[in-house]
A and B are shown apart, each in its own frame.
Chain A
């Protein structure tokens, strides 16, 4: 069956440009998470969506980062005025409401030059 998909797989951008990263969760999963994984680091929580509730944005590192989830399905993570320290793998995960398991996508590798 279809898992979590993310696009693009890789993104190279110049410092100061805006980027949009997309996540398609597993159909029917009500919870959606964004994480960031820097080289040699574990996953860092960014933001969480649960159904129609207000998102938990407590992990966003600065106001240059934002995310939305339209229609309770697809989510977009936007990074404005990218900086070199934003270079990382951005991972999305989704979870069914009554389960603990988070299913991860393959990630988007972002390189800011």
Chain B
């Protein structure tokens, strides 16, 4: 079993819909949780960063962490075709100077 599980999709939604993405993990020591966006043939870029449990909002993006369930989510409101990309969750490995454990990534397609 992988330490971080993420449904690879693809997830297809119409423009304007809410995109809901999630990851589950097995290591209860994870404290730092991130979401990266990766466009085709580009490197990942950091979207959201959350420490411990709770919610964080940034514009159309909301990240949620539920440590009791070992479950994290990313919501994208009012989705746009430009949101079409692969979204990767990542967690910082404890005591590792920033080494990240990534999920497989979910491909999202927003259709006009």
- Give me the interface of A with B, judged by CB distance under 8 Å: 4, 31, 33, 35, 40-45, 48, 50, 56, 59, 91, 93, 95, 100-107
Contacts and interface: CB of A to CB of B under 8 A. Distances in A.
Given A41-B104, A100-B32, A91 B98 contact: no
Contact of A104 (B8, B41, B44, B101): B44
A43 B88 contact: yes
Contact of B99 (A40, A56, A103, A105): A56
25 contacts: A4-B43, A31-B97, A31-B98, A33-B98, A40-B8, A41-B104, A42-B6, A42-B103, A43-B88, A43-B90, A43-B102, A45-B101, A48-B97, A48-B98, A50-B97, A56-B96, A93-B43, A95-B98, A100-B32, A100-B98, A101-B46, A102-B46, A102-B100, A103-B46, A105-B43
A45 B92 CA distance: 11
Interface residues of B, number: 25
Contacts of B92: 100
Contact of A45 (B6, B41, B49, B99): B99
B100 A43 contact: yes
Interface string B21-37: 00000000000101000
A100 B49 contact: yes
Nearest to A92: B43
Secondary structure call for the A interface: strand
A106 B97 contact: no
B49 A106 contact: no
Contacts of B4: 42
Nearest to A4: B43
A23 B109 CA distance: 31
